[in-house]
Chains A and B, each alone.
Chain A
Amino acid sequence: MRAFLLRRLVHAVFVVWGVVTVVFFLVRLTGDPAALLVDATATREEVARTRQMLGLDRPLYVQYVDFLTSAPLGDFGVSIRERRPAMRMVLEHFWPATAQLALAALVLAVVLPIPLGVIAATHRNGLVDHLSRLGSLFLQSMPSFWLGLMLILLFAVALGGLLPAFGWGTLRHLILPAVTLAAAPLAQNVRLIRSGMLEVLQHDYVRTARAKGLAERGVIYRHAFRNAAGPFLTVSGLSLGFMLSGTIVIETVFSWPGMGRLIVQAVPGRDFPVIQAAVFLFAMLFVAVNLVVDVLQGLLDPRARVFEDAG
């Protein structure tokens, strides 16, 4: 397992380097931020002066080498818009605001579907199953932007301020954004678990377990679900990416001061250092979570023990 982890860490370094390198060049293809920092009545000389002050007049390879030597030390430069260290800004917005929201939504999207999907599968074509499928379809087909606004109107306005319309800091503030963010992946996971369970429940070993007189709960959760959980785990790992990108919309609707809104403004504002720092952090998180998923899958299903195969 140690060798597997080492190999994955080396892979991770290359993946993160690849991602930030691609982003480094791509964002520069989108244009020059200097003109965005001056008045519309500025002359070309003023724009050129601003570009020089930002160090953007240097050759691209010089900027890249500078970036490559500084980034591993956590120095992504200074934000073009806010004139503050880019990584510090990203971390300020990531922790705790975005982390709190993404984790709460991830928990909702990963934990709730297990009983819901299992119940739907074990009560196939029953009322619970129909409701579960209808609910899943509803949540998946609803744009999160619209769902968020509807929840605000319901809980903050119609129900007399039962939950706040905006802001963060308490559990009450977290409920509506987390539910909105979790809605689509939750529905997807319910359907995934339901279909996985339906397939597994027909296998001989499940029948055998029942014939041996095991309690139904044990049959379902220890034998059937464990085998049905593989695709669900993989998708849950990928869900983190969805959660992080989903926060961009949710944070705007709920005025959540997280990383999503920071990126939304950094991209059109050509704030290269902030974009690079944010992408770096996202890439690191994504790689780490998928590594954890691989390990968990191996623990749940011996057939998927990639780390043992790897020697």
Chain B
Amino acid sequence: MTPLRRAILWVALALLATLPSGPGSAAPPTSVEGVPIDPDAELIVALTDDTTNMDPRLGMGSIRSNYIRQVFESLVDVDRQGKPVPGLALSWKPVNDLTWEFALRRGVTFHDGEPFNADTVLFNLDRMFRKNLDRWGIKDVAAGTAFDKVYPFVTRWEKVDDFTVRVHTSEPSASLWDILGREPLVPRAWTIKNGVEALNDKPVGTGPWKLVAWRRKDHMAFERNDAYWGAPPLTKRLRLQVIPEAAARIAALRAGQVHLVEAVPPLDAEVLGRNPAVKVVTSVQKLACRLYLNGRTKDTYDSGGKDGAFIDPRVRLALNLAVNREAIIAKIFYGLAVTNASPVATVAYGYAPQPPYPYDPARARALLAEAGSTAARPLTMQLLLPAKHYGQAFDETVGAVVEMLKAVGVQVTVQTLDFGTLLQTLTKGTLPANGAFAACRTSNNLDADDFVRDWASTTLVNWTPYPPELLTLYQSTRRQVDVKKRQASLAELQQKIREWAPVVSLYQEKKAYAHATRVLQFVPTQELNMDFRGVALKR
């Protein structure tokens, strides 16, 4: 057994020892840290929007995740510090270079009593990779992530016994535990019986909360799953209330109609923080906002027969040096954002801190001149801005960045459009040669791979494909299963990507939440969803 495998096994066994022994193993406590709580209370949380669907296969964006992950769980869970911990799998390990093995948790049932076992996992893998759908008699869906296309190296999966599943790949895959492990799992028998459409009505999962009522665009009501395999939730009911308007959310909190609100705007967070009846908490998110630049060569993909205006790394580096991120974070975000020169989110597994791009307009001008930009023939940029899609602070940031780029001699014209139109432009590949676009990306996964794969294939966001040496390095990170060696490769890749500067990095979001002081133990996660398992209401 290699040192890597021994280490993985040791961690898995240690985690196993800390887990509760069986379902519903303890009644909810009546106090936390000596403070009496109300275990029969209803926790009311105001969210910005309703989910459009509860089927995880349709996508796990930030809005959907908040709902879906209360009901459904995945093989790999996340602790409050963002670290992977056993979920429906007790452990996961590579048994050889081309095979991963997941040991499943025993004694878990779905809310309707259906047992969770290896057959559940195989069924879900079939759905993810669009295999055997006819055999199960279920429909295919327009999935957010087409696993069969994105991860074609996953070749087959098999049941070793009722609680062990093996997944085989055609090439080593270091992050397979993350790729497969974070997908929420739906019940097999229930879905076959009721059809995939039923997942969009009142689905059953293994999660801590049972969905009991869903009034669309209004609220979703849950009840504690008393048979939950982990520690049961500390309130009897949970209500996710949709309040789209930020000012109305905050008013509802101040009026005592809700206990907790998400997505507090930066300025409001500062004001609310002074209110003794309210507590503001923040967490760094994976959402990274950037300017994507057309750096496609005319012979790669289709770029209208012209080289992109941003092929030269010196130009892209110059644009990065022209942006005063500290000022943006202080003046627009009131501190509720961080800078990150790495392509990987600071809270992702495998992140390696990179020196920030300094704000250096003089060097930016020099680099642009070196790359051929002159006063007579300045660099031009046609910037597509999906206004009102990512929020006011994003729109203001882009406005500020445009002025900063103009200050170093770049002629920028902004074209405001809606997000759908931007995506259509990117799908068609009709971004102008001097085109750029402002957008943010996040991840539903834990591993750095989900970020660094952006420049490896023809995706919507890939307008500066990896040069051969970076592509080789990227592929080696993907195949390297030795943890230490992989961390080193990932760090090297991040450093090289920083120098190669495929995008103008703007900021990484910090999300603010506000809650009444009656709410105890709320810790915002760094994932796309909130976790209410340990949250209590003071009696």
Contact = CB atoms under 8 A, between A and B. Distances in A.
A257 B441 contact: no
Contacts of B459: 40-43
Interface in A30-89: 30-47, 49-50, 53-54, 81-84, 89
Contacts of B254: 157
Contacts of B424: 31-32, 35
B263 to A, nearest CB: 14
Interface of B: 49, 52-53, 55, 58-59, 140-146, 149-150, 197, 200, 215-218, 241-245, 247-248, 251-252, 254-257, 389, 418-421, 423-424, 426-427, 429, 439, 441, 450, 453-454, 457-461
A153 B242 CA distance: 18
B59 A165 contact: no
Most chain B CB atoms below 10 A, which of A42, A254, A261:
A42
A121 interface: no
B252 A165 contact: yes
A227 interface: no
A269 B420 contact: yes
B53 A255 contact: no
B142 A166 contact: no
29 contacts: A34-B142, A35-B420, A35-B427, A36-B419, A38-B142, A39-B59, A40-B439, A40-B461, A43-B150, A43-B459, A44-B427, A53-B142, A152-B248, A157-B251, A161-B255, A165-B255, A165-B257, A166-B243, A167-B218, A167-B257, A168-B218, A252-B245, A255-B241, A255-B243, A255-B248, A261-B244, A268-B389, A268-B419, A268-B420
Contacts of B241: 166-167, 255
A92 interface: yes
Nearest to B454: A41
Nearest to B149: A46
B216 A50 contact: no
A82 B59 CA distance: 12
B247 A268 contact: no
A262 B142 contact: no
A153 B251 contact: yes
Contact of A82 (B52, B256, B418, B419): B52
A65 to B, nearest CB: 23
A50 B248 contact: no
B426 A35 contact: yes
A41 B59 contact: no
A86 B24 CA distance: 40
Nearest to A38: B144
A25 B275 CA distance: 52
A43 B460 CA distance: 6
B452 to A, nearest CB: 11
Contacts of B142: 34, 37-38, 50, 53-54
A191 interface: no
Contacts of B418: 268
Most chain A CB atoms below 10 A, which of B142, B245, B389, B460:
B142
A43 B216 contact: no
Given A40-B459, A43-B150, 11 more contacts: A32-B420, A40-B461, A82-B200, A83-B53, A83-B197, A84-B200, A93-B216, A161-B257, A167-B257, A255-B218, A257-B216
A262 B420 contact: no
Contacts of A38: 59, 142-146
Contact of B460 (A41, A49, A54, A168): A41
Interface in A223-277: 252-255, 257-258, 261-262, 265, 268-270
The 10 closest A-B pairs by CB, nearest first: A257-B218, A35-B423, A257-B217, A165-B252, A156-B255, A31-B424, A81-B52, A255-B243, A41-B459, A35-B427
Contacts of B458: 43-44
A49 B420 contact: no
B59 A161 contact: no
B420 A30 contact: yes
B200 A164 contact: no
Given A31-B424, A164-B257, A166-B257, A257 B242 contact: yes
B146 A46 contact: yes
A170 to B, nearest CB: 13
Interface in A166-213: 166-168
A277 to B, nearest CB: 15
